[in-house]
Structure 1
Amino acid sequence: MTCFTELLNLFQTFEVELHRPTVRRDPQRVAALLHDDFEEIGRSGLRYDKRQTVAALEMETEHSQIFAEGFKLAQISEGAVLLTYKSFQRDAQGCVVRCTERSSIWLLTEKAGWQMRFHQGTPTKG
């Protein structure tokens, strides 16, 4: 496996981890994955910082499984990468809903290793 493939697998694992309800409700784990200067522009178009994101995920009550596919990785610079992918959920009838184009910037930090610095989710039709 190449170094690039290993990096793609690593970031895919981090992103999917953040989709799991048990992780989302774990403020220590979420805080470890998010950079102190983390910012997000959510599907709603609203902006969130690290504190708001950690608190919101901990309080989540809806836990529909999030599916993710089409992961692509681009190196921005030494110690910075851009990950893009699509996510969706399924309703009670099994139909695909909440389709979203996602992008995340991950930075390599001295203290905590790789952390997400920025995330954006843009709703799509499918």
Structure 2
Amino acid sequence: MNEDKALLPVLQQLETELHQPAAGGDRDRLDVLLHDSFLEIGRSGGIHTKAETLSELPPEAASGTIWAQDFSLRQLAPDVAMLNYRSACRRPDGRLERHTLRTSIWKLTDKGWQMFFHQGTPTDPFST
């Protein structure tokens, strides 16, 4: 299936919400955004489930910002979409580090769009 231009900004907004420190520390919001069968293969190669993600929340929201760009979407089924993009961590001095290629699979449920799968793969630095 082709890219759904109307869905791209919706899933991009949900994805970047997860980049915000407030969402990372909000168990209730993460519980809504992550599907019960959520699985993540992190940038480090570690594998995390929804239960692990929710149980390992830091007591305070993490600081720092995430830069994300080059979003693209592929609709896999009427209720399933794959979002791809590049991200990096922005240092206080503005430099970017930890450049990563990211893929998320989102599924439409009775709770709305929920992230079903996420993977981050380290990559060479990219231009912004």
Return the TM-score normalized by structure 2.
0.88
- Give me the whole-angstrom Cα distance separating, in 1, the residues matched to 2:77 and 2:61: 38
- Give me the whole-angstrom Cα distance separating, in 2, the residues matched to 1:24 and 1:63: 10
Q: How many residues align?
A: 123
Task: Judging by fraction of residues, say which structure has more helix.
Answer: 1
- The equivalent residue for 1:25 is 25
The alignment yields a C-alpha RMSD, in angstroms, of: 1.6
- Give me the whole-angstrom Cα distance separating, in 2, the residues matched to 1:35 and 1:41: 15
Displacement of 1:58 in angstroms is 4.0
Q: Do structure 1's residue 55 and structure 2's residue 55 form an aligned pair?
A: yes
2:113 alignment partner, SS class: strand
- Give me the whole-angstrom Cα distance separating, in 2, the residues matched to 1:62 and 1:106: 24
- The equivalent residue for 1:124 is 123
Whether the aligned pair in 2 keeps the contact of 1:26 and 1:58 (CA below 8 Å) is no
Question: What do the CA deviations read for 1:2-57 (whole angstroms, capped 9, x no partner)?
Answer: x9222000000000100001111100001100000000000110100001112334
Specify every segment of 5 or more residues in structure 2 that has no aligned partner in the other structure, as ranges: none
- The equivalent residue for 1:114 is 113
1:68 alignment partner, SS class: strand
Whether the aligned pair in 1 keeps the contact of 2:38 and 2:116 (CA below 8 Å) is yes
1:19 alignment partner, SS class: coil
Whether the aligned pair in 1 keeps the contact of 2:102 and 2:121 (CA below 8 Å) is yes
2:56 alignment partner, SS class: helix
Specify every segment of 5 or more residues in structure 1 that has no aligned partner in the other structure, as ranges: none
Return the TM-score normalized by structure 1.
0.90
Give runs of ≥4 in structure 1 deviating > 6 Å: none
2:15 alignment partner, SS class: helix
**Paired residues for 1:1-126 under 5 Å:** 4-59=4-59, 62-109=62-109, 111-126=110-125
- Give me the whole-angstrom Cα distance separating, in 2, the residues matched to 1:26 and 1:61: 8
